[in-house]
Amino acid sequence: MSRRVVITGAGVVSSLGMGVDEFWSQCLKGNTAVAGVPEGWPHYPQLHSRIWSPLPEIDHELLGVARAERLQLDPVAMLALGAAREAIGRAGFALASAGERSRNFIMSGVDSERVGVFFGTGLGGAITFLQNHTHHLLHEPRANLIAYVKKHDDPAGSEVLQSVIAQMVHGIRFNPFEVSMVMPNAPAAAIGIKYNLTGPNQTCCLACASGTVAVGNAFRAVRDGRVDVAVSGGCEYFADEHGHIFRSFDVSGTLVREFADPQTANRPFDEKRSGFLFSQGGAAALILEDLEHAQRRGATIMAELIGFAETFDAHSMMSLAPGGKQIERMIRSALNDANLSPDDVDYLNAHGTGTKNNDQTEAEVIQRVFGKSVRVNSTKSLLGHTIGASGAIEALVTALTLRDGKTHISRNLENPVLDLNFVRSVEPFEPRVALSQSFAFGGHNAAIVLRKYGPE
Amino acid sequence: MNVSVQQRVLKVIAEILNRKESEIRLDASLRDDLQASSLDQMTIFVALEDEFQRNMPPEEVTGLITVKDIIDFIDRKLQETTST
């Protein structure tokens, strides 16, 4: 059984705004959101990178997350719920309450046993883990120190003790919901529970390729007839109160180091690139649907998904294999899956992180496979790197590019690493086929192929 | 009984259990009358910790059965902190 798979809904939460319309409008303007990281973070003076792409303040009402849910979910799952909510709404599924006093819904016009969830994340509920660990370690020593200072009324070394107490910051509790908040499958599970979706519910945990693999696996499930509809996407949230996650990327040497001008510091594919822009997080959701199912509902179709492939470098945990042999094999396999050749591709949404190694290798592969025949941009040049969300956000950009016949610039690109057909200005064109690719720590490579929707 | 504490507790319980405040009697048992599951009860105490900025560890709240028990418990908690 092989069916045509179309995208009928999308949702996004990003540093460039919440909601597809705002997000796409900001992308087409070539805007970016960059700010300094909090100076109060421990080890701030030792950081090599000190900028990030912050999210707007989280509006829980807009995400559709009630107070009780906020207490039981890590922010990463809330972002996923927000993106899924918009996507399901845009896909035109009417929602009925799942019961008196329930905050959950039942999607009408679809057999819920034939709807799956395929969501990606890199670190899942890491923030909750860190918060609880801080409480676990510091709560009692801090209380003992405070009691000691109080009892001895200005003891020797009081100033030092007060300063140590001030550094021992932790949350109010050791959260009883920690396990279900931290587990990486929580975002996918939260979506399945919220909309009573009882088909397969899968979490794809492949670092920066998580979102692309999730969309790809959802595509296969719909194409093969295992489900009629899939809520697919990716999510990430990295704003822990002490900047621990930022530091872990920083110390590994992956983040942007030249940031005297924050607006131009993030420069994928440019000779002067110095690393990637750390993102506070984000999420994107795409509703994939069997074409006939979508037509019966009268759904609006954004684009069609026609191919997917994965390969693995088997080389290094943190570096792409030189030469990009497995990336090239992935591109050719994805196009083969779609019964197409490189000549058919009009637009390529690159992984384009801004690290020395990634952009050099990726550009070489693109030049080898496509020459200058494809337009290329990096969505990370606007958003920074949202890790587990990035593949899903870039799949959304690819679908919007096909739908609208225009795409965003690759920002801050002055001297390209290679002479590719990079997008320098927003101009109308007529893309029929597009490819979006992601590579991940560990060595995972994944690509999806999309086509402008039209009768075959 | 502190009226403001009572109002805030009722608001939190109503919000977590997705009920109207007017449905919640002071002598109602969380489990038997309000059908709060053990997870619901855990969520209520986590929400009350946030609301009153006081620790309410499981060992301290286990014996609280009714809404009034909770209000009295929080009243005591607040007084303890103010008097120390």
pLDDT tens profile A63-80: 999 999 999 999 999 999
Mean pLDDT of A6-19: 97
Those of residues 317-376 in A touching chain B at CB distance below 8 A are: none
Mean pLDDT of A187-215: 98
**How many angstroms separate the CA atoms of A346 and A139, rounded?**
57
pLDDT tens profile A120-160: 999 999 999 999 999 999 999 999 999 998 888 777 888 89
Instruction: Check CB contact under 8 Å for B47 and A67.
Output: yes
pLDDT at B84: 43
Nearest CA in chain B to A172: B55
Mean pLDDT of A209-228: 98
Structure tokens given for B30: 């969380």
Given a cut of 50, whether residue A271 has pLDDT beyond it is: yes
pLDDT tens profile B19-71: 999 999 999 999 999 999 999 999 999 999 999 999 898 889 989 999 999 99
Q: Which residues of A touch B47 (CB under 8 A)?
A: 67-68, 71
Instruction: Check CB contact under 8 Å for A67 and B55.
Output: no
CB-based burial of residue A183 (10 Å sphere; 0-12 exposed, 13-18 middle, 19+ buried)? middle
Mean pLDDT of A369-377: 98
pLDDT at B14: 96
The 3-class SS string of chain B reads CCHHHHHHHHHHHHHHHCCCHHHCCCCCECCCCCCCCHHHHHHHHHHHHHHHCCCCCHHHHCCCCEHHHHHHHHHHHHHHHHHC
Residue B42: which of A103, A172, A176 has the nearest Cβ?
A: A176
pLDDT at B1: 63
Q: Which residues of B touch A175 (CB under 8 A)?
A: 46
Q: How confident is the model at residue B80 (pLDDT cuts 50, 70, 90)?
A: confident
DSSP state of A300: P
Instruction: Check CB contact under 8 Å for A172 and B50.
Output: yes
CB distance from B18 to chain A under 8 Å?
A: yes
Which of B19, B41, B46 is the best residue to mutate to test the A interface, defined by the most A CB atoms within 10 Å of its own CB? B46
Residue A17: which of A408, A283, A350, A399 has the closest Cα? A283
pLDDT at A214: 98
CB distance from B59 to chain A under 8 Å?
A: no
CB distance from B55 to chain A under 8 Å?
A: yes
Instruction: Check CB contact under 8 Å for A172 and B55.
Output: yes
Q: For all residues of chain A together, what is the average pLDDT?
A: 96
pLDDT tens profile A293-347: 999 999 999 999 999 999 999 999 999 999 999 999 999 999 999 999 999 999 9
Residue B15: which of A67, A102, A176 has the nearest Cβ?
A: A67
Q: How confident is the model at residue A2 (pLDDT cuts 50, 70, 90)?
A: confident
